[in-house]
Amino acid sequence: MRIVVIEFISLDGVVQAPGGPEEDTDGGFAHGGWAGPFFDPETVGGAFSATLTGADALLYGRRTWQGMAAAWPERAGDPFADRMNEIPKYVVSETLGDDELTWNNTTRIPGGEAVAHLRKLRDGDGGDLVVMGSPTLVRTLLHEELVDELRLVVMPVILGGGKTIFPGDGVMRAYELAGTSAGDTGVQVCTYRRAREE
């Protein structure tokens, strides 16, 4: 499998709470919902639909999974929502109990076992294992060199601080630009793949 990350991201690299004001206020973050004004249904919706179409499974950190699990089941009847609800899902968490995994087709990966478990999944056969949101998890995956593709949905806004997906470990990691598309709102979808080592 390939691990593919798709993220809403600001010009200054912030991924925190793109969807709404109460989504994630950690650190006093006050700009929740910042992606909304720049959402282009064709460009952004198309990027997420294409990503979901290529997915064999979804992967989340606990907080993002809880938000998704609270939202998507009630949207049944829409093709995108139906796919979100039926596809296999993994959530990395030390705190969620198996009885709390109420979103259809979800398997918990204990946090302490996550890197080893995800290496095995990545080395196996199949399509894409897609990560949406989940900045702490994505930061770990990037640090561990487990991300095969980044699909960054870049919104034309600077937020001045907030959570990022990028490790701060001083290690350089090269990616190659695999494609771009732009929407009328100024949004750009930029796809990067791990650069081949020479």
6-17: per-residue pLDDT in tens? Answer: 999 999 999 999
Residue 197: predicted pLDDT: 66
Q: What is the mean pLDDT of residues 3-30?
A: 96
Q: Are residues 12 and 160 in contact, defined by beta-carbon separation less than 8 angstroms?
A: yes
In terms of C-beta density within 10 A (0-12 exposed, 13-18 middle, 19 or more buried), how is residue 121 classed? middle
Q: Is residue 146 predicted with pLDDT exceeding 60?
A: yes
Bridge partners, 130 (sequence order): 4, 58
Within 10 Å of residue 187's Cβ, how many Cβ atoms?
21
pLDDT band at 198 (very low <50, low <70, confident <90, very high): low
Residue 160: predicted pLDDT: 97
Q: What percent of the chain has pLDDT over 70?
A: 99
Residue 41: predicted pLDDT: 94
Q: Is residue 182 predicted with pLDDT exceeding 60?
A: yes
In a 3-state reduction of DSSP, which class is residue 56? strand
In a 3-state reduction of DSSP, which class is residue 2? strand
Q: What angle do CA 154, 16, 138 make, to 5 degrees?
A: 80
Evaluate if pTM is beyond 0.85. yes
Q: Is residue 183 predicted with pLDDT exceeding 80?
A: yes
The chain-wide mean pLDDT, for the chain, equals: 95
Within 10 Å of residue 105's Cβ, how many Cβ atoms?
13
In a 3-state reduction of DSSP, which class is residue 140? helix
Model confidence over 34-63: pLDDT tens digits?
999 999 999 999 999 999 999 999 999 999
Residue 76: predicted pLDDT: 84
